């Protein structure tokens, strides 16, 4: 029994070797427009999907990634997303943090540590995450319950906001898979 409990406790520490994609996750489906949203960045700016779609430099691709400061795979995946977004003005990235309301200092440190230049929306009450189905509400509606492995979840969108791909797990091959997807959709 003890070995089972230890395996369960440390299972999340094992590296995921292969990234996994899905045709649907929560309320998001490949081929459909991503449900619109609007949130606030750490520096108090309002931003949403429409902000990215209406940017002066119309993006070819938009990468929206749900992250959290406590998420080890997020810390590995964000630099790959950020490198793409900073290298190519036609690729826009936006991160949606599901960190709780008392996590502002941790989130600021996370942004600095990973040198994130793209906008980070702090979804501290999980309204956007619930809209997209990344976080579910218990039937009792007393506390949020994450979907299986709630973060990272990364949605790749086309220039019209339609979902091209959903990464439900970001493995060791995430950078390679992300580059292949970008190349295939240019």
Q: Under a CB-based contact definition with an 8 Å cutoff, are residues 156 and 165 in contact?
A: yes
Q: Pull the structure tokens for residue 153.
A: 């979840």
pLDDT given at position 185: 87
Angstrom distances, CA of residue 121 to CA of 11, 19, 172: 29, 24, 26
For residue 67, name the pLDDT band (cuts at 50, 70, 90).
very high
Question: Alpha-carbon distance 153 to 13, whole Å?
Answer: 17
Q: How many CB atoms lie within 10 A of CB 126?
A: 19
For residue 15, name the pLDDT band (cuts at 50, 70, 90).
low
pLDDT at 9 over 70: no
pTM: 0.86
The mean per-residue pLDDT over the stretch 69-86 comes to 95
Diameter over CA atoms, the chain: 59
The mean per-residue pLDDT over the stretch 159-168 comes to 96
Please say whether the structural domain 28-184 has been given the CATH code 3.50.50.60.
Answer: no
């Amino acid at each position: 029994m003890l070995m089972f409990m230890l395996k369960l406790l440390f299972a999340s520490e094992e590296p995921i070797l292969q990234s996994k994609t899905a045709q649907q996750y929560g309320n998001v489906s490949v081929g459909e427009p991503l449900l619109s949203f609007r949130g606030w960045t750490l520096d108090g700016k309002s931003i949403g999907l429409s902000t990215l779609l209406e940017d002066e430099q119309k993006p070819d691709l938009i990468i929206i990634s749900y992250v959290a400061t406590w998420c080890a795979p997020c810390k590995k995946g964000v630099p790959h997303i950020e490198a793409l977004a900073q290298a190519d003005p036609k690729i826009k990235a936006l991160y949606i943090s599901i960190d709780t309301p008392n996590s502002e200092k941790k989130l600021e440190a996370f942004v600095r540590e990973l040198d994130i230049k793209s906008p980070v929306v702090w979804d501290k009450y999980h309204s956007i995450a619930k809209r997209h189905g990344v976080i579910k509400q218990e039937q009792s509606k007393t506390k949020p319950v994450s979907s299986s492995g709630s973060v990272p979840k990364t949605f790749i969108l086309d220039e019209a906001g339609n979902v091209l791909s959903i990464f439900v797990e970001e493995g060791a091959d995430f950078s390679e898979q992300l580059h292949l997807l970008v190349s295939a959709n240019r």
